[in-house]
Amino acid sequence: MAIADRVVLVTGATGILGRVVVGRFAAAGARLGLVGTQLDRLAEVARDQGLAADRWVAAVGDLRDGAQTRAAVKSVADRFGRVDVVLHLVGGWTGGTALVDLDPAELTGMLDQHLWTTLNVVQAALPGMIAAGWGRVAAVGSRPALEAAPRAASYAIAKTAEDTLLRTLAREAAGTGVTVNLVTVGTIDEQHQRDSAGTPKNATWTTPEEIAAAFLFLCSDEAGAINGARLPLDRHG
């Protein structure tokens, strides 16, 4: 089955990366469930990307809350009959504080944003994929987080926890027809500075279009043998 026949749930759909991903998957013919906390912003994304009314549905909910997440995923499945793909793009960074001075609330916020949203959405979507015998879960991972940069403890801890969760899920889903993978980046080059004003600092940055292309491949039938991988897109040797 081609991407054109898949139902793709995109979290973080209103961000710059989310908009690019939505556009690329729409162009490939996917039906889309756009997840966010504000209906008007989701409608704006659909309008800007030229989505026909019968090709998308808004799924409003705070993914930090399990009940709201389940309701959001169910709204997509109710509209299109199933969810085939989860692209988890919820992001955000908080940091700059030395570990000894860290406010626990900062860490809690990062865990809520990265770990708990991920757990909630895969718990809501994965059973249907396994029952159908086919599914794809993909998320954005962070090489800097895995390397534990100084003054970034909250972000690094949360992203490392998300990485562990998803790679564990990949092992648990092995053999079911469902794959779980991460695309790892350093900085997402939303303004395309790497190509318009290249410097040694931004030489390893990754554009939203490159991430979207990687997701398209990982969600294809041809990528069915790839599971539990970190696909690096940050140009490190």
Separation CA 104–CA 99 (nearest Å): 10
| pTM exceeding the 0.85 threshold for the entire prediction | yes
Tell me, rounded to whole angstroms, the distance of Cα 141 from its chain centroid. 9
pLDDT tens string, the chain, 237 residues long: the values are: 579 989 999 999 999 999 999 999 999 999 999 999 999 999 999 999 999 999 999 999 999 999 999 999 999 999 999 999 999 999 888 888 999 999 999 999 999 999 999 999 999 999 999 999 999 999 999 987 888 889 999 999 999 999 999 999 999 999 999 999 999 998 888 889 998 999 988 888 899 999 999 999 999 999 999 999 999 998 765
Architecture field, domain 3-232: 3-Layer(aba) Sandwich (3.40)
Residue 55: CB atoms within 10 Å: 15
CB 159 within 8 A of CB 167: no
CB 20 within 8 A of CB 45: no
Q: What is the pLDDT of residues 83-92, one digit of tens each?
A: 999 999 998 8
Of the chain, the end-to-end C-alpha distance in Å amounts to: 35
